[in-house]
Structure 1
Amino acid sequence: MSKQTQETGGAPKWSGSFGFIMAAAGSAVGMGNLWRFPMLVGESGGGAFVLVYLICIFLVGIPLIIAEISIGRAGGKDAFGSYKALNSKWGGVGILAVITSFIGLSYYAVLGGWVLRYIFVSVTGLPKSSEEFFVSFTSSTGSQIIYYLVFMIITVAIVVMGIQKGIEKSCKVMMPLLIVCLIVIVIRSCTLPGAGEGIRFFLKPDFSKLTPGVFLSALGQVFFSLSLGTGATITYGAYLGKDQNIPKSAASIAFFDTIVAMIAGFAILPAVFAFGFSPESGPSLMFQTLPAVFDEMTGGKIFGVVFFVLVLFAAISTSIAFLEVVVSFAVNTFKVSRAKASVISAALITCLGIPCALSFGIWSDIKIAGRTFFDLGDYLVSNVSLPIGGILACIFIGWVWKSKNAEKEVTNNGRISFKLVNVWSVLIKFILPIVILIIFITSNPWIMNLFK
């Protein structure tokens, strides 16, 4: 494919499809791939769940990625600008995406700061038990703020450099290295005595566990894992040249995200089982269980550093996508330079993020609707704005912008072959809004209670 090295109408472009795929995959590949997916597979039927998950990727994930890329490329601007360019009354959906990324980065950077701290701890070794260290570190006001700021500075430094020199260049390095680091951990993990139990837990098919709830878990994991609804895919799509194949790129993004999640299972679970630890889902798996595992392992310091470096790559690639959504909006809306937009946006996000960072220490007792600042941000993004944004995107393409116009954008007016275009249109118009609505309802207990 030809490289889009020049900017069209002042809009920056990716240098080629590989750069776009790595950046978009980077926005999707996050810490959830490492700490949630492996446990979800192990607890929900192993290989049987993987089969269900792959079906959901094909029927839900890829069609939605295609939809968001097409909105961005057709609109040619940020999330707000792209929606507004295609229909002046729908700019609010783009605003929702910008707010989602703004809030998302505010609490996600807290975890990014933790990863930075754990890279150093992996070098020196845990000064105390992993649980004691975690509690001590997360409750330390000074440490939390310092590492939060360092992570945000790294994120801003990349975004300031722009699309090709900053985001694309960094993701083209980080994503392949992430895979390499994961493979190194897999080799070490799977060759440990007793690792077989972890592999069996991860992949042994158990079709008896495939309940309706497990199908919903698979759908939810696909939706949230691919960062659909954050505006990142729309924003990145705006930088994509017209000669680039959207369906092929969407499939590549989903494939990369899934491969990382699968490899992570082989990297993490065999080691956890080999040393007799109880596997858990969520941050405790990464920041308490795994450091203890590396502490017990021969050469554990080296493998601990490698692991947390790859986690850092996953965290940064997601954080720069969040920030780019906000920065792109600021540049186009307020007509400011990228540098100024990046610094001001990051400063405002940090103002919201510091309370999230302190939610584990001195502000742990401050709660809104029963949730700390960190938990509230996570809930609003994951359970509310992401599914609502996904539903509205489907309605917009299927019923407002119209499927025929979207099809022309996806196929570049028939120049690019997309044999499943009619199936895609049906999914977007009729099936996916209902599927996402079900995810939205089941992930919010208060809505379920309304029907009782």
Structure 2
Amino acid sequence: MQQLKPEQTPERGMWSSRFGFLMAAVGSAVGLGNLWKFPYLAGENGGGAFVLVYVGLVVILGFTLMLAELSIGRHTNSDAYGAYSKLKKGWGFVGGFGILAGFLILSYYSVVGGWVLKYIVASVTGVGADKGAYFTNFITSSVEPVIYHLIFMGLTAIIVIRGISGGIEKAVKIVMPALFIMLMVIVLRSVTLEGASEGLKYYLTPNFSEITLKVFIAALGQVFFSLSLGMGCMVTYGSYLSKQEDLEKDALLIPSLDSLVAIMAGFAILPAVFAFGFAPGEGPGLMFITLPAVFESMPLGTVFSLIFFILVFFAAISSSISLMEVTVAFGIDRLKWSRKVSVLVFTTVMFIIGIGASLSMGAWSDFLIPWIDGNSYGIFDFLDVVTSYYLLPLGGLLSAIFIGFVWGVPNAVKEIKTGGNFRTEKLWSVLIKYIVPILVFVILLSTTGLLDRIIG
């Protein structure tokens, strides 16, 4: 039997099958962003023009960073912080950015997960005539959203506390195939609605005159955040892989499946929105306000609404599992806690922070936190801005720099080759060392407003 490395302990666990790992990794990438943010961004940024740019960037950015993070994780068999520390002393802070981002994201992500649970119930009981007022009244309440937030956090903790093969892997083997099946049902219903052809035309026909820097930046950001890059998820999941795993195939398949879900979500939502005369750029309202009205106007609307929000819950819980595992692995590897203690401690702290995020929609809406961009935010928005616009891009940029100039591309290539042939070695080497750092740096410039000043 192979001797366990220091970090490869029974508390950490390993994937028992490649299918289980792939479903977990895809589940980490597929989340609320795929199901409402992608269609919303496509609606705001020229439809087919946005989709075309998005797919191109998935090929360049998604594959490159996915393979980079998986190789670091498997080579070190460690959590995100420990992985970088092992490879180069003093560089653990790169993984630390990811752990902090995952921790903060789940603190407010679980609040939205609670909203989804509420709408599963509301799909059966009904939301009334005024969909906007129903949603607003719910999220501004001081009690009910917190209860659903607690339930969502509890479900996440129960799955993660059972470990890799006993909890996460068993859950995603059921959740992810069901997600694809449910999404296909919604797609088939949406594209057959009367008037859906206008939405399909808008979604599938790129207008090249609309491919602007704004569209490029929007697509770049969506690729980065949708694939769970820069937050330690893929480093952590990669640390549970065997040396026989073909990392190159995984890094191609995971972004492909994630993008498939996002594009299918566009087929599920945009044709229906156009068919019923709603605006495609409604943001979160596209899901919680517009779609209930769409379903209500459809035959068997209650059934389709229930299926859709169960689908959204599956996507949300699969992502929350990966976010929780990043922090739990840190507790196990760095703090030497048992899995149970690590889950309970982090779940409690996240839940408390999430209470503040939930109350910032209502009772605490006047409490604002100033930020370096000159704006002030409520707790929910503050957590979103800090993680999405700063920590994740910074983590991705530092990861690319780390492999390109610190650990070294030859070392990463050697690790990747242990599990199979590396057919894209030359291309990947150029992408990770030069192209990806430039692209991610553009994201940081755009989010801080410096890009507008430079080109303005």
TM-score of the pair, normalised by structure 1: 0.95
Q: Distance in 2 between matches of 1:104 and 1:449?
A: 29
Shift of 1:89: 1.1
Offset from partner CA, 1:131-160 (integer Å, 9 cap, x none) = 010111011111011000000000000000
Identify the residue that residue 438 of structure 2 maps to in structure 1.
434
Which of the numbers 362, 383, 386 marks the counterpart of 2:389? 383
Shift of 1:6: 11
Q: Distance in 1 between matches of 2:455 and 2:213?
A: 18
Asked if 2 retains the 8 angstrom alpha-carbon contact of 1:145 and 1:357, the reply is: yes
Which 4+ stretches in 1 moved above 6 angstroms? 4-8
Identify the residue that residue 398 of structure 2 maps to in structure 1.
392
AA at the equivalent of 1:395:
I
Comparing 194-203 with 318-327, which one deviates more in the overlay? 194-203
Asked if 2 retains the 8 angstrom alpha-carbon contact of 1:5 and 1:15, the reply is: no
| Matched residue SS, 2:159 | helix
Identify the residue that residue 373 of structure 2 maps to in structure 1.
none
AA at the equivalent of 1:233:
M
Offset from partner CA, 1:348-400 (integer Å, 9 cap, x none) = 11121110011111011111011010000000010000000001101111111
Q: Distance in 1 between matches of 2:416 and 2:75?
A: 9
Q: How many residue pairs are counted as aligned between the two chains?
A: 447
Counterparts in 2 of 1:35 and 1:27: CA distance versus 1, 3 Å: same
Asked if 2 retains the 8 angstrom alpha-carbon contact of 1:126 and 1:295, the reply is: no
Shift of 1:260: 0.3
Shift of 1:126: 1.1
Counterparts in 2 of 1:6 and 1:285: CA distance versus 1, 3 Å: farther
Q: Distance in 2 between matches of 1:316 and 1:332?
A: 24
Q: Distance in 1 between matches of 2:40 and 2:317?
A: 23
Counterparts in 2 of 1:420 and 1:58: CA distance versus 1, 3 Å: same
Identify the residue that residue 24 of structure 1 maps to in structure 2.
25
| Matched residue SS, 2:194 | coil
Identify the residue that residue 184 of structure 2 maps to in structure 1.
183
Q: Which runs of 5+ in 1 are unaligned?
A: none
Q: Distance in 1 between matches of 2:129 and 2:46?
A: 36
Identify the residue that residue 417 of structure 1 maps to in structure 2.
421
Shift of 1:26: 0.7
Shift of 1:448: 4.8
Asked if 2 retains the 8 angstrom alpha-carbon contact of 1:38 and 1:202, the reply is: no
Asked if 2 retains the 8 angstrom alpha-carbon contact of 1:269 and 1:279, the reply is: yes
Shift of 1:279: 2.0
Identify the residue that residue 109 of structure 1 maps to in structure 2.
110
Asked if 1 retains the 8 angstrom alpha-carbon contact of 2:44 and 2:281, the reply is: no
Offset from partner CA, 1:390-430 (integer Å, 9 cap, x none) = 01101111111111100001111xx6111211211111111
Shift of 1:450: 8.5
Comparing 152-161 with 262-271, which one deviates more in the overlay? 262-271
Counterparts in 2 of 1:281 and 1:427: CA distance versus 1, 3 Å: farther
Alignment partner of 1:243 is 2:264: no
Comparing 148-157 with 421-430, which one deviates more in the overlay? 421-430
Offset from partner CA, 1:180-236 (integer Å, 9 cap, x none) = 101111111111111112211211221111122222222221111111111001000
Alignment partner of 1:152 is 2:130: no
Identify the residue that residue 219 of structure 1 maps to in structure 2.
220
Shift of 1:304: 0.4
Identify the residue that residue 348 of structure 1 maps to in structure 2.
349
Alignment partner of 1:267 is 2:268: yes
AA at the equivalent of 2:287:
M
Q: Which runs of 5+ in 2 are unaligned?
A: 371-375
AA at the equivalent of 2:400:
C
Q: Percent identity?
A: 49
Q: Distance in 2 between matches of 1:118 and 1:409?
A: 45
Offset from partner CA, 1:90-127 (integer Å, 9 cap, x none) = 11111111111110000101100000000000011113
Q: Distance in 2 between matches of 1:249 and 1:146?
A: 38
Shift of 1:47: 3.3
When the two chains are superposed, the root-mean-square deviation of aligned CA atoms in Å is 1.8
Shift of 1:128: 4.1
